[in-house]
Amino acid sequence: MSFNLSKEFPLLASELGELLQRSGENELAKTVDGLMVVDRCRCGDDFCATMYTVPRPKGAWGEGHRNVALDPQRGFLILDVLNERIVAIEVLYRDEIRESLLTLLL
């Protein structure tokens, strides 16, 4: 089970693209439309709508990992980037996204 981020969450995808450009992350911004979401976070926190765009690692992301914290109008958006590829999108305190995500990925 996976889905295209920009197809299921077009508003979030354009928001991410815009915020990345504003942060000077133009190369990452170009990749947003092609992102496939393969899993969601299973932490169970009711404010968490974190999505994985590669299979979740067993432990830490390891070397080559960095976080890109964006500055959205609402909630928190933090990207996990591994070797300059977006591997996870931490989406926090965005109820509308979480609701849809839970129906897409059980």
CB of residue 43 vs Zn ion: minimum separation in angstroms?
3
Residue 80: is it exposed, middle or buried by C-beta count within 10 angstroms (0-12/13-18/19+)?
A: buried
Question: How far is 19 from 56, CA to CA, in rounded Å?
Answer: 24
Residue ranges binding Zn ion (CB under 5 A): 41, 43, 48, 50
CB of residue 76 vs Zn ion: minimum separation in angstroms?
12
User: 43 vs 106, which CB is nearer to Zn ion?
Assistant: 43
User: 28 vs 41, which CB is nearer to Zn ion?
Assistant: 41
HEC letters along 35-85: CEECEECCCCCCCECCEECCCCCCCCCCCCEEEEECCCCCCEEEEEEECCE
User: 48 vs 79, which CB is nearer to Zn ion?
Assistant: 48
CB of residue 44 vs Zn ion: minimum separation in angstroms?
7
User: 34 vs 102, which CB is nearer to Zn ion?
Assistant: 102
CB of residue 97 vs Zn ion: minimum separation in angstroms?
12
